[in-house]
Amino acid sequence: MSDSVMLITGARKGIGRALAETYTERGWRVIGCSRQESEYLHGNYRHFVLDVSDQEAVKAMMISIRKAEGRLDALINNAGVASMNAALLTPLDSVRRIIETNVLGTFLFCQEAARLMQKNKFGRIVNFTTVAVPFNLEGESIYAASKAAVESLTRILARELADHGITVNAIGPTPIETDLLRGVPAEKIQKLLSRQSIRRMGEPRDVINAIDFFLRAESDFITGQVIYLGGVS
Amino acid sequence: MNQPDVLAAVLEAVAEYNEQLDEEQRLDLTPETRLLGKSSKLDSFGLVNLIIVVEEKLYDKFDKALTLADERAMSQDHSPFRSVQSLSDYAYALLSEN
């Protein structure tokens, strides 16, 4: 994997940070980005500070990757924001912020990454959805709707990019102990876990395992798929 | 930057794009070469790939990130993608604006 290049959005903390550490340790050259500077230092790691929905900044970063690396093998579209609120009380600014980061950001990165990937006729894109989509969770209307959009994007891009040798899949984690869950009441999380087939919190290793499957060279016949963790369907 | 510079860059991009193709699929390196329609050797997949190469070439030459397939291009009666010349003219117009 020493020549392979991976881009991870939202890489400063939480799952993104765990992914950055895991794949740099495995020999990938990893490029991460987030809205703030990262404290993670590694010879194989480079960090960009940007907002994932800022087209100009994302394009500039991709040009920089093209010039420095000349290739991109994997994109992990991990950056995302959530908001728990009753639909009747959700401010429009929150709606806009969630759609911009989760939908626009995911689309923009898929678009820009695929342009670079198609040069080598190879690419692996992994998007992030959530079990809140199949659960139709109350209080998560906009978050779940934004991720339902990501699932649609995943399926359609899988078709559009297949001839370029690029697969596009998504992973839908269960609740995992990260900042995204901050402020969600414990009983709400317990109720959620009780709806899973396997009733435990998710861990970064569960996400990494599913991503490993999508990244494998042998997974070139797997595209447009959504894998939910915890036995959710 | 003038119009001949942009045309030269677009032709350079076409030459680069040709390298990905088998000989019989390659595009002629002339301004008149058709990119759309029955007389074009490109299908829609090929046109998308060519536009990507042209955008990168224009960035490398003129240091400006363009989006050639914007809403304006799609809404024009005469598509700017019909030939190498029209694509070059359209790219020149966009580069002159920015």
CATH number, domain with residue B91:
1.10.1200
Here the ipTM equals 0.80
**Window B:27-46, CB contacts with A under 8 Å:** 45
Work out how many domains chain B is built from and give that number.
1
Q: Do B59 and A63 touch (CB under 8 A)?
A: yes
Choose among A109, A129, A113, A101: nearest CA to A224: A129
Separation CA A139–CA A162 (nearest Å):
36
Q: Do A56 and B65 touch (CB under 8 A)?
A: yes
Choose among A102, A101, A76: nearest CA to A16: A76
Residue A48 is which amino acid? Answer: F
Q: Which domains does chain A have, with CATH numbers?
A: 5-228 (3.40.50.720)
Q: Scanning every residue of chain B, which has its alpha carbon at the shortest distance from the alpha carbon of A57?
A: B65
Tell me which residue range forms the domain holding B56. 3-25+32-97
User: What Cα–Cα distance (Å) separates residue A181 from each residue in A86, A127, A140, A189, B86?
Assistant: 16, 19, 12, 9, 53
Region of A183 please: left (phi>0), alpha (psi -120 to 50) or beta.
Answer: left
Per-residue pLDDT of B42-70, as tens digits, reads 988 899 999 999 999 999 999 998 889 88
Side-chain-facing half-sphere of B90: CA atoms under 13 Å: 23
Residue A215 is which amino acid? Answer: L
Determine if the pTM surpasses 0.95: no
Q: What's the angle, vertex CA A130, arms to CA A124 and CA A134, rounded to 5? A: 120
| pLDDT tens by residue, chain A, 233 residues | 558 999 999 999 999 999 999 999 999 999 999 999 999 999 999 999 999 999 999 999 999 999 999 999 999 999 999 988 899 999 999 999 999 999 999 999 999 999 999 989 999 999 999 999 999 999 999 999 999 999 999 999 999 999 999 999 999 999 998 877 777 788 888 988 999 999 999 999 999 999 999 999 999 999 999 999 999 99
